[in-house]
């Protein structure tokens, strides 16, 4: 969803982006069509006798998105590499940079080195006061200006089409622009305009997009849920009430999808009282690492299953 420091950290390595890639010079994000779905289905059939197709689903959650990095660290240690990644809001930032070829150590360094000025752009308007262009530019810089279809790991970015409130999934074109759409929290970020349509935060409709992964042919889904739990949210002021409204809505949506995941990783992030708190980046990464460690036996079993099926005739 976003990454702002002291209310100004615009969405990177949490929720949410040096070379600017203008939309007119780089293909705009496109929605997946039957071709992409068929390609994944064919891949699924081809691999079925060797190993299951694994999807890593990275959910929304503001500055809690740093925890995704800790989870990826454990997956690497267990020898698990996803066949594709689905990311919503914060998850789209971490997922896209990881999919570009960065490893977990590089992800952590990028997160710790990032400065608010790298992604912060205030542009007060009737529809919001954060533009999101710097987020787009930052992500494109980190992925070396690769478009979604050219990332090393197939990447699917979830956003919400504003007019009809529909979930959309970007899987080709300008990576940074797709992420910019996915992290655009309504009333805070100005909606991202793509091909005459406006897009906002993917977490509004699919905070942990397990259903997308299933629809794309995943045999096994590893889902990372970093949402704030309503019970841990302070509601003594206007900001707390705003958070609570979001938390209640997203928790209900996420519950419906998490039941369809094979492995659910939920970092303990109670100390993260709001989506813009980025004061404890290292601790948040460690929370993700610890939560994934609790699922290590399941992950190791999954890795063993991959190895056995890969050598089976």
Best CA proximity match to 65, nearest among 35, 45, 88, 46: 88
Judge contact between 59 and 224, C-beta under 8 A: yes
Q: What is the pLDDT of residues 60-110, one digit of tens each?
A: 988 899 999 999 999 999 999 999 999 999 999 999 999 999 999 999 999
Cβ neighbours of residue 294 under 8 Å, at least 6 residues apart? 265
Instruction: Pull the structure tokens for residue 203.
Output: 């977490």
Catalytic residue flag (residue 271): no
- Give the residue extent of every domain in the chain: 38-307
Phi, psi (rounded to 5 degrees) for 204: -65, -35
Of 89, 92, 100, 182, the active-site residue reads 89
Confidence (pTM): 0.83
| CB-count exposure of residue 121 (10 Å: 0-12, 13-18, 19+) | middle
Q: Which fold has domain 38-307?
A: Cytosolic phospholipase A2 catalytic domain (3.40.1090)
Catalytic residue flag (residue 89): yes
Instruction: Pull the structure tokens for residue 106.
Output: 């590089």
Mean pLDDT of 270-291: 78
259 falls in which pLDDT band (50, 70, 90)? very high
Of 131, 201, 225, 277, the active-site residue reads 201
Which run of H or of E encompasses 47? Answer: helix 34-48
Judge contact between 16 and 90, C-beta under 8 A: yes
| Residue 178 pLDDT | 96
DSSP 172: B
Q: What is the DSSP string of 77-109?
A: HTT---SEEEEETHHHHHHHHHHTT--HHHHHH
């Amino acid at each position: 969803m976003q990454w702002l420091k002291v209310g100004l950290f615009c969405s990177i390595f949490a929720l949410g982006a040096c070379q600017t890639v203008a939309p007119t010079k780089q293909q705009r994000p496109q929605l997946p069509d039957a071709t992409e779905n068929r390609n994944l289905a064919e891949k699924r059939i081809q691999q079925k006798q060797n190993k299951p197709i694994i999807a890593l689903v990275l959910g929304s959650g503001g500055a809690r998105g740093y925890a995704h990095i800790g989870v990826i660290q454990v997956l690497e240690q267990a020898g698990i590499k996803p066949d594709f990644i689905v990311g919503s809001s914060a998850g789209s930032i971490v997922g896209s940079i990881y999919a570009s070829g960065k490893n977990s150590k590089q992800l952590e360094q990028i997160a710790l080195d990032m400065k608010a000025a790298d992604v912060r752009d205030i542009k007060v308007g009737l529809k919001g006061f954060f533009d999101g262009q710097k987020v787009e530019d930052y992500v494109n810089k980190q992925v070396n200006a690769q478009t979604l279809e050219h990332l090393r790991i197939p990447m699917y970015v979830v956003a919400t089409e504003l007019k009809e409130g529909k979930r959309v999934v970007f899987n080709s074109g300008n990576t940074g622009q797709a992420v910019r759409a996915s992290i655009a929290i309504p009333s805070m970020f100005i909606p991202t305009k793509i091909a005459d349509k406006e897009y906002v935060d993917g977490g509004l409709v699919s905070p942990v997009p397990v259903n997308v992964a299933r629809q794309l042919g995943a045999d096994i889904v590893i889902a990372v849920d970093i949402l704030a739990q309503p019970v841990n949210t302070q509601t003594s002021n206007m900001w707390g009430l705003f958070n609570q409204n979001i938390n209640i809505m997203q928790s209900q949506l996420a519950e419906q999808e998490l039941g369809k995941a094979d492995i659910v990783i939920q970092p303990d992030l109670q100390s993260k009282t709001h989506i813009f708190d980025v004061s404890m980046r290292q601790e948040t990464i460690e929370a993700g690492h610890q939560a994934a460690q609790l699922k290590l036996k399941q992950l190791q079993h999954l890795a063993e299953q991959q190895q056995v099926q890969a050598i089976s005739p």
